[in-house]
Amino acid sequence: MTQTRSPIVLMYHGTPNAQPESHYSLSANLFAKHLRYLQQEGWTTVLFKDLQNVKTLPEKSVVITFDDGYEDNYSGAFLPLMGLGMKATWFIATDCIGSHAHWLGKPSTQTRMLTGERLLEMHTAGMEIASHTCSHPDLSALSADQQQLELSKAKAVLEDLLSTQVSSLAYPFGRFNADSVSVAEQTGYRMACTTRPGWFDSEPNPYMIRRIAIFSGDSVSTLARKLNFADNDVSWKKMTRYYANRVWDKLIHSI
Ligand SMILES: [Zn+2]
């Protein structure tokens, strides 16, 4: 019997060529190691929008997503992905295209964002460019009308830039409420992702898809454990507890 395995969605942010300034960014060097590991282990990279037809996807499917759209993703992620024949999805805050991630405070090289020209090039090369709202707000703090504006305008800006339909969304800071879910559907998105960890098939609502966060310094073995357990916390302490429970379960059931 072949075991059917749920797809898994990973969340990356910046991929700088230097030491990451943010806990959420991964050095380009380490990111390249993640890609080689995924390829060696037989994972197929698919786009976030491909999850709309999940039954057509290969057994070990992984969605690599990038939030915000950092400029260092071009050389640190897009080019290596292309070199290995892999693909990924970018969630872009449209007000920040070609400028800075204003919510991170003082601008630096690592807060610089991809330009429209780069996004178009990446889209043409087969990457998915999707929505992360316009101004990267905490949607749960906005009225339904304000959320409607953020979601519909960002979609229109990207569709105009790329001349294609944009159907995927990621909530900024992973924060959303019941309005966000209904507004996402009303404004024509087909799926949205959160930052709650778990397997793709553990969430039936297409506007609340789970993702595993990758943090600065996550080694290849950490990535391997995250892929196995679909969790952000894969510390040895937690893993030890997991295996201890399994041994305990086995003992109980063998009595
Ligand atoms: Zn973001």
- Taking only the tens place, the pLDDT of each residue in 100-111 is 999 998 899 999
Residue 61: half-sphere exposure toward Cβ, Cα within 13 Å: 21
Average pLDDT value for the chain? 93
Q: How much is the pLDDT for 254?
A: 62
Please give the sequence-ordered ranges of beta strands (E in DSSP) within the chain, or none if there are none.
8-12, 44-45, 61-68, 89-92, 128-131, 168-170, 191-193, 212-213
Q: Residue 133 Cα, ligand 1 centroid: separation in angstroms?
A: 9
The pLDDT assigned to 78 comes to 98
Distance 138 CA to ligand 1 centre (A): 10
Run of H or E including 81:
helix 79-83
Distance between Cα 49 and ligand 1 center (Å): 18
Residue 3's pLDDT is: 41
Helix (H, G, I), strand (E, B) or coil at 184: helix
What's the gap in Å between 83 CA and the centre of ligand 1? Answer: 26
Ligand 1 centre distance from Cα of residue 172 (Å): 5
Domain borders along the chain are 8-254
Alpha-carbon gap, residue 180 to 184, rounded angstroms: 6
According to CATH, what is the number of the domain 8-254? 3.20.20.370
CA 245 to ligand 1 center in whole angstroms: 36
Distance 84 CA to ligand 1 centre (A): 26
Dump pLDDT digits (tens) for 131-185. 999 999 999 999 999 999 999 999 999 999 999 999 999 999 999 999 999 999 9
Q: Which pLDDT tens digit goes with each residue over 196-251?
A: 999 999 999 999 999 999 999 899 999 999 999 888 888 776 767 776 776 666 66
How high is the pLDDT of residue 255?
58
